[in-house]
A and B are shown apart, each in its own frame.
Chain A
Amino acid sequence: MGGLNAPRLRRWLPEISMAVALVILPFVFDTWLGSVDLFTRILIWGIFGLGFDLLFGRTGLLSFGQGAFYGTGGFVTAYLLTSGTLDNVWLAIAAGIAAAAAFSVFVGFLALRRVGIYFAMITLAFGELSYFLENSPLAKWTGGENGLPGVPAPSIQIGGFDYSFAGSWPSYQLVAGFYFVGFVFARFVVLSPVGSVLTAIRQNPERTAALGHDVRAYKLAVFVLAAVFAGCGGAMLGIFQSYMPPDAFTLDTSGQLVIQTVIGGAGTLIGPTVGAAIWLTLRDLLQLVPHVGELWKFILGFVLVVLITFMPHGAVGTIVRLISRSRPLPPAVTASKRPEDATAREALLAPLPAKAPITTPAPLALEVSDISKAYGGIRAVERVSLALPEGRFHAIIGPNGAGKSTFLRLLAREETPDSGRILLHGIDVAAADVTAAYQAGMAKSYQINQLFIELTVRENLRIGALGRQRGRLRLDIFRSANGFAKVEEVVAALLEELGLTGCADVAVTTLAYGEKRRLELGLALVSRPSVLLLDEPLAGLSPAEREGIKQLIRNLSKGRTIILVEHDMDAVFELAERITVLHEGRKLAEGTPKEISNDPLVKQAYLGGMATP
């Protein structure tokens, strides 16, 4: 226990509090509400809800079909035990959970092809599908409308000692044990890099993908994880009631889970449990009131509508927000001391070496040949080529609608060119996605800020750094999100370079526009890219702020290949070594700033009568 210092205590405080609550609360229920069973029921919903909160509260995926996995877990466990296929209840529970997970891989693969409204509709449809399957085609095994009675409780045997979990208090112990393990596990997920990525996906899935994270894969991972919790909850239900009811599969079940989560507070882990406590206690208490009892569900519907309208963070969420407003989120535990030394910062932020094929002579950093992109009849980019050696600072200018931003989107692999090749350090990335391009060392800052606005500045940068550090997908849930020493060092150095150290641990929403703009640039730099695409970094800034950003770009351009798209001609001619002029999707001219400013074609098409520097 020697190592239980303040930060570690803080890390484990929720788990300790939960353990205490799980010991005390059942007595409260037993004393005031007549039986511990109500609390057992709440915890079964709570297990189900822990997974749903990771899915919906964390990642923002609103599924209306979680009953499918709750039912699958419950029925597979119940069938294996009641049919005599398995004697060991623990094994049957494991099999039920595995079946729920397997089913969720299939459903998730299909449902996650779409987002938002479609995701909700498709998951709901699969929930209904599983209800119908249980009810008739599979009725031979599931008992159809009758469900499966006689599910036995597990027991433990150590030596001659035999303890069965049948009965009111023992089954509470069983469910509470599973709940506690689930809670600890879910906390690990939330605090891990995976938890950070899931939060980032909720806030801005496109940017998360552009920062090197495989969004589809992470979504599928959390979908399966939620199904594991659901399957476990379903298994507990069957064991607790000694009976597995078919209505575990219904829309009512999935809907009740959603409502409980919203009432309790999404994104708080215990929110669904609190919501279940409110729901089930209210139902039991309202039944006792004459004439009102029948209306309990109406009242809950009303409460849901009122809560969504006026208190979208739910009961727990509102309390958490009140508390965390007075207490800033803890800074990274392993963050090194403030990197004051400019040379040290430069070393930390230097581009990572690219994984280039071993060829001689060294390939170009970026080689674009004849890429084209048309939208219907509009040819946004037509047969544009560009060859940049390592370390080149290149600018692209052109009038509005010339295809500059489209060109950058094609390079960053946010869009796929209709034809042409893009070689990044000699590797063809024309068929890769934006995530792969980022992993290969290309990053982009956006014309319109693409930030994770509810996260702090440091957390924003961390998302980008973790993307390069951990690769497209890694399920390192037992690591801490701030436990990568190298990432923390780079982030701290970059914060200093951006001049954002002072506001590192405040939420992005509170930043001024100029600060957000610098953070946007920082998100493109935090992976230490070798090729950097800058889409109008100076847009919307004051002259003083422009100077600051220009200086920043200059500082960080060393050793990097940069493509700058910018309307501020002074900045372009000052920073760029070479300039390409695009006009109506085609390359009009290319040369040194001096050549461009003297080119008669360019003057005519673009600069017009403007004085040249």
Chain B
Amino acid sequence: MPTLPQFLSQAFNGIALGSLLALIASGLSIILGTLGVLNFAHGAMFMLGAYTAFVVLGHWDSFAAALALGAVVLVLVGLVTERGLIRFYYSRPKEDQILVTFGLGIMMIEAVRYVFGSLSQPVPLPSWGRGIVNLGFFIYPLYRVEVIGIVAVLLFSFYLLLYRTRIGLVVRAGIEDPLMVELLGTHVRRVFMVVFTIGAMAAGIAGVIYAPLAAVIPNMGEPFLVQCFVVVVIGGLGSFPGAVVGGIVVGEILSLTTLFDPSYAQAAIYAVMTLVLIVRPRGLFGTMGRA
């Protein structure tokens, strides 16, 4: 049996990983909920954020600059993608949308591979994130504690954006019934552009924060993309609370299963997803009606 400090330490890891998953998945989920588009390039966008951190932190010890630049890069990528490609796909079949974002993701990954190579490369921790912290029962890497704090702040601002602003109101209404929003005189297509960009930015920022925790490698986004799908299935389509709770749940399952037998960690999240699909197909916070 694992000791209490081991258990707590893994539970903390679960929150750190889960909160990052929540951030990525909430971006994926609002794009899916509002635009109806499943963004298969979301993992690649996460990776682009991580590589931005790799470049910035490799030259300057400024995490703020990495965050800012990561956000800017992904806002640009999001804008160009939506204006240049995705908007022509709103009236196309879902399958075409999936295929085109899948192709786009491959292009991003391969472009990064061409520039930075296929090898895994370490990203330095920001100076204020080095070292360990004593949390009473156990000692824990400082940066991970900070990650939890940073992501909590980001998720809270995301919450404010969605629930306390005009645009957030339109986005939430659009998830419920896009046609009705359009009929009420809001230009939904413009909102789509904003939502896609915000979703891309969320993935990118998550990538920046994640990069120092591990190393960067071109296909690093793939497991995150798949885990985000699991989060969305568990949490419910288009639901922000669903993405947050689903993210934490998946993060904890991964970490705590690792404590007992690492080889079953991945299998465990799919087992839970299967259970949710059988017992509650719409997900924990999802509404019926949308595909």
| A-to-B contact residues, CB < 8 Å | 56, 60, 62, 110, 113-118, 120-122, 124-126, 128-129, 132-133, 136-137, 139, 251, 255, 258-259, 262, 294-295, 297-298, 300-302, 304-305, 308-309, 312
Contact = CB atoms under 8 A, between A and B. Distances in A.
Interface string B96-107: 101110111111
B277 A60 contact: no
Interface string B214-239: 00000000110010011011000100
B95 A305 contact: no
Most chain-B CB neighbours within 10 Å: which of A113, A117, A312? A117
B226 A110 contact: no
A126 B278 CA distance: 15
Contacts of B36: 117
Given A114-B281, A304-B106, A128 B226 contact: yes
Contacts of B32: 117
10 contacts: A113-B278, A114-B291, A128-B226, A136-B264, A255-B102, A258-B99, A294-B114, A298-B110, A301-B106, A305-B85
Most chain-B CB neighbours within 10 Å: which of A60, A115, A312? A312
The 8 A-B pairs with the shortest beta carbon distances in the complex, nearest first, are A136-B263, A301-B106, A298-B110, A304-B103, A132-B266, A121-B229, A301-B107, A305-B103
Interface residues of B, number: 41
B106 A300 contact: yes
Contacts of B24: none
B270 interface: yes
B104 A305 contact: yes
B189 interface: no
Interface in B235-291: 237, 262-264, 266-267, 270, 273-274, 277-278, 281, 291
B38 interface: yes
Chain B at the A interface: mostly helix, strand, loop or mixed?
helix
A262 B97 CA distance: 13
Most chain-B CB neighbours within 10 Å: which of A126, A259, A305, A308? A308
A60 B267 contact: no
A390 B6 CA distance: 75
Contact of A122 (B110, B263, B277): B277
Given A258-B102, A259-B103, A304-B100, 5 more contacts: A110-B274, A116-B94, A301-B106, A304-B102, A305-B100
A309 B113 CA distance: 25
B229 A124 contact: yes
Chain A at the B interface: mostly helix, strand, loop or mixed?
helix
Contacts of B114: 294-295, 298
Nearest to B88: A309
B64 interface: no
A258 B106 CA distance: 13
Contacts of A124: 226, 229
A118 B100 CA distance: 17
Contacts of A294: 113-114
A122 B233 contact: yes
A82 B31 CA distance: 48
Nearest to B110: A298
Given A117-B94, A128-B266, A304 B38 contact: no
Contacts of B103: 259, 301-302, 304-305, 308
B111 interface: yes
Most chain-A CB neighbours within 10 Å: which of B103, B226, B229, B263? B103
Given A121-B38, A121-B232, A136-B263, A295 B102 contact: no
A118 B229 CA distance: 9
B264 A137 contact: yes
Contacts of A300: 106
Contact of A117 (B38, B102, B263): B38
A410 B286 CA distance: 26
Nearest to A306: B103
Contacts of A133: 267
A118 B278 CA distance: 14
A172 to B, nearest CB: 30
B245 to A, nearest CB: 18
Nearest to A111: B277
A489 B111 CA distance: 60
A512 to B, nearest CB: 24
A120 B229 CA distance: 10
Interface in B94-141: 94-96, 98-100, 102-107, 110-111, 113-114
A297 B226 contact: no
B118 to A, nearest CB: 9
B103 to A, nearest CB: 4
Contacts of B270: 125-126, 128-129
A125 B107 contact: no
